[in-house]
């Protein structure tokens, strides 16, 4: 950093590779991660639960890339628990690799938000995992499923869906 330059670089989340995060022309948000030893089992293969953590990170970062802070939704009393999850493992990811975790909002309806995922090689040529996660809006104070999402959340999701 130059002496006169007081801007600080934005730090990537733990495990994220700083370059190439963002939306592509097909509406996929790409979040690159590097596979560290703690992401793997004893044979150096990525542990199955790690994929879920990466997918959640990618989902939160895709919103953040549009100026939407997930923490703000939580502070407003909105919970978005997973109610359905489907993963297909096509091939294993090994320690030391870098992968692109791709996510986009799918065919959502009402308070049910469907997210599609692909985990691919960093060059996107090899497919490792495909997944779909369904979240549902819950009012934290009442502990009940919402009849509709708050207007600010609806607007944010519309922004996400229209941002190819």
Q: What residues act catalytically?
A: 41
Q: Is the Cβ–Cβ distance between 117 and 58 less than 8 Å?
A: yes
Nearest to 51 by CA among 31, 70, 80, 71: 31
Residue that the structure tokens 């970062």 belong to: 61
By CB atoms closer than 10 A (0-12, 13-18, 19+), residue 18 is exposed
Residue 13 CA to residue 56 CA, distance in Å, equals: 12
């Amino acid at each position: 950093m130059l002496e006169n330059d007081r801007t600080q670089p934005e730090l990537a989340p733990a495990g994220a590779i700083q370059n190439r995060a963002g939306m592509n022309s097909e509406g996929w948000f790409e979040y690159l991660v590097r596979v560290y030893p703690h992401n793997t089992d004893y044979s150096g293969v990525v542990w199955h639960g790690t994929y879920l953590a990466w997918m959640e990170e990618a989902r939160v970062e895709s919103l953040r890339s549009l100026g939407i802070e997930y923490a703000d939704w939580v502070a407003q009393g909105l919970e978005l628990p997973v109610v359905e999850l489907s993963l297909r493992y096509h091939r294993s990811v090994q320690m030391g690799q870098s992968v692109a975790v791709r996510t986009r909002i799918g065919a959502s309806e009402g308070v049910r938000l469907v997210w599609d995922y692909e985990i691919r090689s960093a060059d996107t040529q090899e497919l490792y995992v495909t997944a779909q996660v369904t979240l549902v809006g819950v009012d934290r104070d009442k502990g009940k499923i919402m009849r509709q999402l708050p207007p600010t959340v609806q607007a944010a999701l519309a922004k996400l869906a229209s941002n190819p």
